[in-house]
Amino acid sequence: MKDDFDLPVTGENITVTINQNTRNLTTDSNGIASIEYQVVDTETVINATYPGKEDEYNATNTVLTLVADKMETKLLVDDVSALVGKAFTINGTLLDINDKPVVGVLVNITVNGTKTNATTNEMGQFNTTMTLQEMGEYPVNVTFYENEVYKESNNNTSLVIASKTDTQLTLNVSNSTPVNNTMITITVNLTDNTGEPLDNQEVNITIGEETFTIYTTNGIASKEYTVSQLGVQTITASYTGNNMYNANSTTTQINVIKLDTKLTLNVSDNTPVNNTLITITATLTDAVDNKLAGQN
Looking at the chain, how many residues does it have? 296
Highest mean pLDDT range out of 12-21, 47-56, 223-232, 253-262? 223-232
Domain termination site, one of 139, 163, 187: 163
pLDDT band at 293 (very low <50, low <70, confident <90, very high): confident
pLDDT band at 37 (very low <50, low <70, confident <90, very high): confident
Query: Domain with 99 in it: what CATH number?
Result: 2.60.40.10
Domain termination site, one of 120, 140, 163: 163
Q: Return the minimum-mean-pLDDT range out of 162-176, 207-221, 274-288.
A: 274-288
Q: Using CA atoms, how far apart are residues 201 and 215, in angstroms rounded to an integer?
A: 5
Which residues, in sequence order, are bridge partners of residue 165? Answer: 245
Which residues, in sequence order, are bridge partners of residue 192? Answer: 167
pTM for this model (two decimals): 0.65
User: Is the same domain home to 174 and 252?
Assistant: yes
Residue 8 lies in a domain: no
Kindly give, in sequence order, each residue whose CB lies less than 8 Å from that of residue 65, ignoring residues fewer than 6 positions away. 43, 44, 45, 46
For 7, phi and psi rounded to 5 degrees? -100, 145
Q: Residue 43 above 90 pLDDT?
A: no
Residue 7 lies in a domain: no
Q: Residue 35 above 80 pLDDT?
A: yes
Largest CA distance in the chain: 169
Using CB atoms within 10 A of its CB, is residue 82 exposed (0-12), middle (13-18) or buried (19+)?
A: buried
Cβ atoms of 167 and 186 within 8 Å: the answer is: no
pLDDT tens-digit series, residues 137-196: 999 999 999 998 899 999 999 999 999 999 999 999 999 999 998 999 999 999 999 999
End-to-end CA distance of the chain: 132
User: Is the same domain home to 240 and 206?
Assistant: yes
Residue 84 lies in a domain: yes
Residue 4 lies in a domain: no
User: Is the same domain home to 94 and 142?
Assistant: yes
243: left (phi over 0), alpha (psi -120 to 50) or beta: alpha
Query: Domain with 180 in it: what CATH number?
Result: 2.60.40.1940
Q: Structurally, how many domains does the chain consist of? A: 4
The pLDDT mean for the chain works out to: 93
Mean pLDDT of 110-132: 97
Q: Residue 282 above 80 pLDDT?
A: yes
Domain span holding position 151: 73-163
Domain termination site, one of 136, 163, 190: 163
Q: Return the minimum-mean-pLDDT range out of 4-13, 167-176, 232-241.
A: 4-13
